[in-house]
Amino acid sequence: MATKSPVLLRSIYALCLLGATSTHLLTLVRHDLFWNYGGAPLFTCIYWTSLTFLDPLAAVLLFLKPRAGLLATFVIIVSDVAHNTWLMQRSQSPDWLNWMYLSQVAFLVFVLVTVQRAWRGVSST
């Protein structure tokens, strides 16, 4: 199992990223590329829309260029949770128990706990 676990971890990461992609894609289909997310700051609109493209790119890289994919996954989930935490702190009535936010935090914890194993399981070439 030890030799297969890095591939399994990358597969789980990819599934999570593709799940997030579906959420962002649905938002684009419902609203459009330039929707303001109900009055969100411009940076937030650009960031969330960019995840529609960055999440699937990272998912593909996890298998074509695993180390680049792992790095991209790490940067995406760390920045996503940091950004969404910042945004919630600015809110008049933050919903810290929002299932989407909690799922991002759970994925962040999972990545933080497992990324070293996934990294070691990839050849450096």
The predicted-structure confidence for 8-61, as pLDDT tens digits, reads as follows 999 999 999 999 999 999 999 999 888 888 889 999 999 999 999 999 999 999
Residue 85: pLDDT over 70: yes
Euclidean distance between CA atoms 20 and 38, whole angstroms: 19
Query: Which two structure tokens, joined as six digits, stand for 100?
Result: 């989407």
First to last CA, the chain: 22
Tell me which of 2 and 110 has the higher pLDDT.
110
Q: How far is CA 14 from CA 40, 64, 90, 91, 123, in A?
A: 28, 12, 30, 31, 19
Task: Look at residue 84 in the predicted model and tell me its pLDDT.
Answer: 96
How many Cα atoms are found within 13 Å in the side-chain-facing hemisphere of 16? 22
Euclidean distance between CA atoms 79 and 57, whole angstroms: 16
Task: Look at residue 1 in the predicted model and tell me its pLDDT.
Answer: 46
Task: Look at residue 3 in the predicted model and tell me its pLDDT.
Answer: 55
